[in-house]
Amino acid sequence: MPDLETYAKGVLATVATLSTVGAGLLWYGQNYLIYPSAFPPGSRTDVPRPDGIPYEDLTLVTPDDISLRCYLLPQKKLVQAADANTITDDEFAATRPTVIMFHGNGGNHGHRVPLAKIFYLKMRCNVLMMSYRGYGLSEGSPSEAGLKIDAQTGLDFLTTHPVFAQTKIILYGQSIGGAVSIDLASRNPTKIHALILENTFTSLPKLIPNVLPALGPFSFLCHQKWDSASKVPLIPLSTPILMLSGVKDDLVPQAHMHALWEVVARRGETKTSGGREYKVGLEHAKFVEFPYGGHNDTCVQTGYWPAVEKFVESVCAPEPGEKA
């Protein structure tokens, strides 16, 4: 029978080995954990198309020469409209907002076609469905640095386009797509007109203990930061933000959305004799909770799309003194 010293050494050796494995898994394998682009099976080869509505297969080439296979859904005039004969499709598209969709870390942009159709058919928005590098039929491998380049490439396409450059640009981000949206808006404060954020997080290192508890002690090794909490203050007070939070989200705890909401409020923080006031920071922001919303089904909860539609309408409303 081994003595206590031998047993203790064995335990310590086992712990050390597991710790090394855990640290190695997080450091070297985190991109595979964070960006599971091949899940569900077939996601790298089977990309649903937005059949039934006008769309274009759009290939965007990034500055580092990666081809992104995206979908562009440009608005078309209604044939039965009174002004159908006096306005072209491009002229009509220029009067409508443009939504850039940034999806979560699983699947591909084609899996979000039903959501794009709501923006397109119900709200009459132009829609750019972004495909990240390493996702769907796009080239490359995903990473934080790479996705930031992809997002900027999509925005640059719109802002240099003869039609879409005239439109108000709204970012719609789900989960990690919310982090992509926040980062893009923070780097382009004058080009983004609004953000819609669903079930996103403050930063990835702070999320790891919830998603991968066994790797929690090694979260400091996470080099994919997506530090949204530090980027929100760079977004102008005048930029409207709609936050959509599923109370039953078991992947991204709702505490992350609440923490981001506090950061959104502090954009306009002022000190008063009674403490601090956040009123200014919240004038153009709204937080909506869905009691039964999980991480992947918040978007089908009752009241979700009416809230989004009302928000889009408010963003598109003419400014005082501006012609409708």
Task: Please compute, for residue 111, the number of CA atoms within 13 A of its CA located in the half-sphere on the CB side.
Answer: 22
Active site residue 175: yes
CA 86 remoteness from chain centre: 37
Catalytic residue among 131, 249, 256, 284: 249
Contacts of 266 (CB under 8 A, 6+ apart): 233, 278, 281
Strand positions, DSSP E, the chain: 56-61, 67-73, 98-102, 126-129, 169-174, 194-198, 241-246, 270-272, 275-277, 285-290
Phi, psi of 194 (to 5 degrees): -170, 160
Instruction: Please tell me the distance from the alpha carbon of residue 185 to that of residue 197, in angstroms, as a whole number.
Output: 12
Catalytic residue among 156, 258, 295, 297: 295
**What is the phi-psi region of residue 36: left when phi exceeds 0, alpha when psi lies from -120 to 50, beta otherwise?**
beta
Instruction: Please tell me the distance from the alpha carbon of residue 228 to that of residue 226, in angstroms, as a whole number.
Output: 6
Active site residue 295: yes
Question: Which residues sit opposite 285 in a β-bridge?
Answer: 241
Catalytic residue among 37, 43, 131, 175: 175
Write out the catalytic residue numbers: 175, 249, 295
